[in-house]
Structure formats: C-alpha cells, structure tokens
C-alpha cells in the first residue's frame, strides 16, 4: 500500500485502553493519531495498582487475553527500561474456608495455571512480611506482574511514537464526533476509523447512548506507603481472603459460598464499602494499598479517611510491615458494567466509530487491554451494534 493509501485511525483517550488500541492499530498498518484532553495521563490508568492480574479472571478467553497482554507489557518494559517485576501473587489464608477455597482452586487449575498452595513455612520464605499468627497457608501464583502505572502509562506514548510513529495531540479535548471526523472546538480531523477509549468521557460525546447502556461509574480509594526500609521487599502481591470473594476467577470453587457467608458476617462494614485489600510494591520500595468500590453515576469528590483506615486495618491482619507511613492517598473513577453479560464494552456508536470501555467488567484495564485491543482490530471481537435512537420533539 502506498503512503497515500495508508489507512488512518483516530483514538480518543490516552489511558491504557487508548494506548493499547493505538498499538494494535499501528501493528495492523494504520497511521494512528491519539487525542487526550490532558497534558499527560492523569485518570484511572495511573491511579491503580499496576498489576497485570491473570488470577483475577476465569479460565478460557479472558485468561488467554490476560497472558497475551502480559507478553506485550514485558516487550514494552524490556524495550524501554521501564521498571517491572514478575512478582506473582500470594493470597494468605487464616480461616478454614479460605484454605478450602485455595486448595480447590489449585486442584481445579492443575496443568492450566502455575499456582499451588504453600504451608506457613513456605509462605514466610516467599513473603517475609506475612503475619504468622493463625496462618493456615497461602495460594501462590506466578502469573502476575507488577509495573508502576505512573511510570509505565507515561512512558508508553513515547514508545508508541518511536516504534510506530503514533502521533499524540495533548491538551486537545474532542468535543464532537461524526464519522469520518472528530472536532476539537472548531478544529476538525479525519480518519478511516475512530475509537473512543477515554473512560466514562464518552458520556459527553454520546450522552443518549451512555444513558441506554448497562454501565455505571465506580469510585475507589487507595493509598501508597512510603518506601520500606532496606532490605525489606514484599515479594509477591499480597492479598487476603476478601480478594478471593471479589474476583470471578475463584467463584467456581465449591467452598466459595461458605467463605463469602462468613466474610459477610465478620466484615459486613468492609463489604458494604466494596473493600478488598491488596498490597503491591514498586521499584522504589513504596507499597500501593487498596481498595474500596463505590458505585453510582455521581460521586462525592471527597475521600473518606475512615475508608482508608479500614483498608489499612484489614491489611494489618495479613501483613507486618516495617513502616506504615502513608505517603499519598487518592481516588480513581472508572466505568463499571452492571448487567453481568459482558466482560468488556465494545460497541459501534455509529458506522466507523467504536467505543471501547469497561474492561474486565471494570477494573482490569492493565490486565486485559493490550490483548483486547488486538482482538478488536483483528476482527476476532466484533463490536455490538445498538439500535438507533428515535428522535422525539420537545
């Protein structure tokens, strides 16, 4: 294909979904232009744990998608020197029902996933910070990888430009879309294909469509602890039993119902706030801790210190850290699908315009976006079509 015949694509949004779409399109031979309303990524993509988290998804297509995404993350990190660690994950058990779920999960995944149960002595060897008192054992998985999202998401655009020639327009909000054009105020840009990947911002571009979809918004609170004194290292991403109740990858185990029933009684206040607790350490020794989940279309802009205390208090039952000094706290907001029928939102807003959102049902963007983007661009995953709105007079 000659230069004059090169296919073109516009991506709206420079978070992980938009960056993944830009990469997949460039790999497929498109000349890609990315627009973002900010000077750099400041939304949900830089406000998460930075975990590539295959253990959070069920076996089958989503697990394959997660592993493909991890391959691309490793390629990017190796090429750019961006910090990453093949940390794996460790979920500690302090109750019989948690231990039962872990053993069932390990048995069900034998030969499918690299996971196994550990006795208390083995746990301490892998994660020296785990609380020993009452420890039954743990589930260890070696699939998971950690990056620092603040570094990784902000390094990705330069890599995409250098490797693929992707062009970025920062501080340029897209205010209108009508294929084959997008507008930023009075400035107009055209492309063969347009992808809207700016999180819940598509509400402003297609408000009627947003209203009709089974989608809401999730606010989560997180915090980051100051760097731990050397030579302490957390090792794997560490979690407690609440994490198994949260992620669908564990929901096929026979004992999950019994465990959730006990958790709902013991931790009713945490479950009401959507709290499950994870801890991940970055290359500087800082530990990111979270998180809570509050669902609704409009959220208070204020963070609740009581929620952060509950998160930290639960983590103290799992981890004994040298330092608990909080460096930062924040909240993020991302799209959350509510109908339970989809693992992502990929819909045709109009011919030539595709919305990509709600990855993993919400909250697994780092884990799934690269693989999903390849499936969308290759045609393996076809966008859903939505019946057009009937205009009404008012």
CA distance 20 to 74: 14
Give the structural domain span for 201.
Answer: 3-47+150-212+343-385
With 50 as the cut, is the pLDDT of residue 1 above it? no
Q: Are residues 307 and 222 in the same domain?
A: yes
pLDDT bucket at 343, cuts 50 / 70 / 90: confident
What DSSP element (H or E) covers 296?
A: strand 294-296
Q: Are residues 234 and 123 in the same domain?
A: yes
Q: Indicate the length of the chain as a whole number.
A: 394
pLDDT bucket at 2, cuts 50 / 70 / 90: very low
What is the pTM for the complete model shown? 0.95
Q: Are residues 15 and 108 in the same domain?
A: no
Q: Is residue 364 part of a domain?
A: yes
Give the end of a domain, one of 317, 337, 357.
337
Give, in order, the Cα–Cα distances in Å from 154 to each of 21, 31, 42, 147, 160: 16, 21, 9, 12, 11
Q: Is residue 270 part of a domain?
A: yes
Give, in order, the Cα–Cα distances in Å from 181 to each of 12, 28, 380: 12, 21, 26
Q: Is residue 128 part of a domain?
A: yes
Q: Are residues 329 and 265 in the same domain?
A: yes
Q: Are residues 95 and 232 in the same domain?
A: yes
Which residue, 77, 127, 68, is CA-closest to 278? Answer: 127
pLDDT of residue 201: 81
Q: Is residue 171 part of a domain?
A: yes
pLDDT bucket at 391, cuts 50 / 70 / 90: low
Residue 390: CB atoms within 10 A of its CB come to 5
Q: Is residue 288 part of a domain?
A: yes
With 80 as the cut, is the pLDDT of residue 390 above it? no
pLDDT bucket at 146, cuts 50 / 70 / 90: very high
CA distance 288 to 296: 25
pLDDT bucket at 358, cuts 50 / 70 / 90: confident
Q: Are residues 40 and 119 in the same domain?
A: no
Q: What is the CATH number of the domain that holds 195?
A: 3.50.50.60
CA distance 23 to 156: 10
CA distance 374 to 23: 9
Which residue, 34, 87, 47, is CA-closest to 329? Answer: 47
Q: Are residues 33 and 156 in the same domain?
A: yes
Q: What is the CATH number of the domain that holds 263?
A: 3.30.9.10
Burial (0-12, 13-18, 19+ Cβ within 10 Å), 184: middle
Give, in order, the Cα–Cα distances in Å from 109 to each of 114, 117, 138, 372: 8, 12, 15, 23
Give the end of a domain, one of 299, 322, 337.
337
The arithmetic mean of pLDDT across residues 323-328, rounded, is 97
pLDDT bucket at 393, cuts 50 / 70 / 90: low
Cis omega before residue 231 (within 30°)? yes
How many helices (H) and strands (E) would you count in the chain? Answer: 12, 22
Q: Is residue 83 part of a domain?
A: no
With 70 as the cut, is the pLDDT of residue 72 above it? yes
Q: Are residues 136 and 275 in the same domain?
A: yes
Q: Are residues 155 and 254 in the same domain?
A: no
Running DSSP on this structure, what letter comes out for residue 299? -
CA distance 57 to 217: 20
pLDDT bucket at 259, cuts 50 / 70 / 90: very high
Give, in order, the Cα–Cα distances in Å from 208 to each of 21, 211, 213, 238, 391: 24, 5, 9, 42, 11
pLDDT bucket at 4, cuts 50 / 70 / 90: low
Q: Are residues 239 and 324 in the same domain?
A: yes
Q: Is residue 235 part of a domain?
A: yes
Q: Are residues 203 and 227 in the same domain?
A: no
Q: Is residue 75 part of a domain?
A: no
With 70 as the cut, is the pLDDT of residue 389 above it? no
Q: Are residues 323 and 241 in the same domain?
A: yes
Looking at the structure of the chain, the number of domains it has is 2
């Amino acid at each position: 294909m000659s230069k004059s015949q090169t296919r073109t694509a516009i991506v709206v949004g420079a978070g992980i979904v938009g960056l993944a779409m830009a990469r997949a399109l460039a790999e497929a031979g498109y000349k890609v232009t990315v627009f973002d309303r900010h000077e750099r990524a400041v939304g949900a993509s830089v406000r998460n744990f930075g975990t590539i988290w295959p253990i959070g998804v069920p076996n089958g297509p989503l697990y394959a998608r997660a592993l493909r995404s991890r391959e691309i993350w490793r390629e990017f990190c190796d090429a750019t020197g961006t910090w990453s660690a093949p940390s794996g994950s460790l979920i500690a058990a302090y109750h019989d029902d948690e231990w039962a779920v872990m053993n069932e999960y390990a048995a069900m995944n034998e030969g499918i996933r690299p996971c196994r149960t550990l006795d208390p002595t083995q746990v301490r060897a892998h994660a020296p910070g785990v609380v020993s008192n009452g420890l039954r054992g743990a589930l260890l998985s070696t699939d998971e990888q950690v990056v620092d999202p603040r570094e990784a998401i902000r390094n990705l655009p330069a890599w995409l430009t250098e490797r693929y020639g992707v062009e970025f327009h920062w501080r340029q909000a897209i205010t209108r879309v009508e294929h084959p054009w997008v507008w930023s105020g009075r400035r107009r840009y055209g492309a063969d294909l347009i992808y809207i990947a700016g999180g819940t911002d598509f509400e402003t571009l297609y408000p009627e469509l947003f209203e009709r979809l089974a989608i809401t918004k999730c606010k989560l609170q997180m915090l980051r602890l100051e760097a731990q004194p050397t030579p302490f290292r957390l090792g794997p991403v560490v979690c407690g039993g609440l994490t198994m109740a949260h992620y669908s990858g564990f929901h096929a185990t026979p004992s999950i119902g019994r465990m959730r029933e006990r958790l709902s009684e013991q931790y009713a206040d945490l479950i009401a706030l959507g709290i499950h607790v994870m801890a991940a350490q970055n290359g500087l020794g800082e530990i990111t801790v979270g998180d809570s989940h509050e669902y609704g279309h409009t959220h208070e802009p204020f963070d609740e210190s009581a929620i952060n205390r509950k998160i930290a208090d639960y983590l103290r039952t799992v981890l004994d850290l040298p330092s608990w000094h909080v460096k930062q706290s924040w909240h993020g907001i991302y799209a959350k699908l509510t109908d339970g029928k989809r693992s992502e939102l990929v819909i045709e807003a109009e011919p030539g315009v595709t919305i990509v959102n709600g990855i993993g049902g919400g909250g697994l963007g780092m884990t799934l976006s690269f693989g999903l983007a390849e499936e969308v661009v290759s045609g393996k995953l076809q966008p859903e079509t939505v019946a057009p709105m009937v205009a009404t007079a008012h």
